[in-house]
Structure 1
Amino acid sequence: MPDSEQYPTAGASGASPDPVPAITLSREIVKLGTEWAESGRVRFRRRIITETRQVEVTTRREELVIEDVDVTDRNGALVGTAKDGRVTDEPRPDAAPLVIVLQEEVPELSLRLRPYEQVTVTTTIGSRTGRVNSQVHREEVDVDTAASAAPPTGRR
């Protein structure tokens, strides 16, 4: 470009209709936002825990009580029911043995499943503050001038 050509500056009076040469500089800006992303999964399972419980229980039972009753009076004569002939001195060979069935209470264990607690699972939203680092780029203009031209204006 010859030294005699001059370009009008913006706002100068008598500017020519030719456009003023210009360079547009751009720079990157950091635009930060958030989005939802899966951060983990939780699985709930019920498990059975076995515990030993010891409980005391009181039981009852029948016991055999044998009473010796004297069927004779002081003189040796039969008294009471012995007079009726039911009590004899002689064993009867055809008499069946006397059998008495004794009973007792036996602990009986039964288990019932009864709900005792309900667990509700919800989520809440918490927040935290962190730092994000990013490198951004921008453009600069270097002006090179010939040694005979005007001194450089520097960087912009």
Structure 2
Amino acid sequence: MILPSNDYFLANGDPLAHSLSTLFSGADTSISFEIGLPGSFRDAGTEVNDFNTSAGNGLFPGLPGGQTGPNQGADENGVITSVTDSFANFQNRPTDFDTDFANLNFNNQTLYPNGIARVTITVESVPESSTTVGLMAIAGLFVFGSLRRRNNDFS
């Protein structure tokens, strides 16, 4: 979800753009890619875009308070659409929004030429289950022994 909206999200439009198969096969130990490239922002169409009911307003000084509970925005009953001008269609825009929050234009190629973030997925070894079970058994015996000793002290 892209804040301060109540239903913006990221989608690259290609479910096969980033394959994890090389991680599973062992050919690679990590993959990296950028998210939030200009043109990848979508509006889910679930709630009317209104700064008075935007979900993340409390994170941005100068914006109205936003929602105080779940699902307080008016239903839009829309469909998913591309976001071309990040917050132009929002109701109740603060007067100085365009100057105070100019850096929130995620579709601006100059501000975000490589997207808003880089994601790296890395393969890490997981401890063997026998080691984990053994450690849990030792911890359980310790707790059991402590409880038993406490009961004997009160007898």
Q: Aligning the two structures, in what range does the TM-score lie when normalised by the shorter sequence? A: under 0.3
Structure with more of its chain in strand, by fraction: 2
Structure with more of its chain in helix, by fraction: 2
Q: TM-score, normalised by structure 1?
A: 0.16
Q: TM-score, normalised by structure 2?
A: 0.17
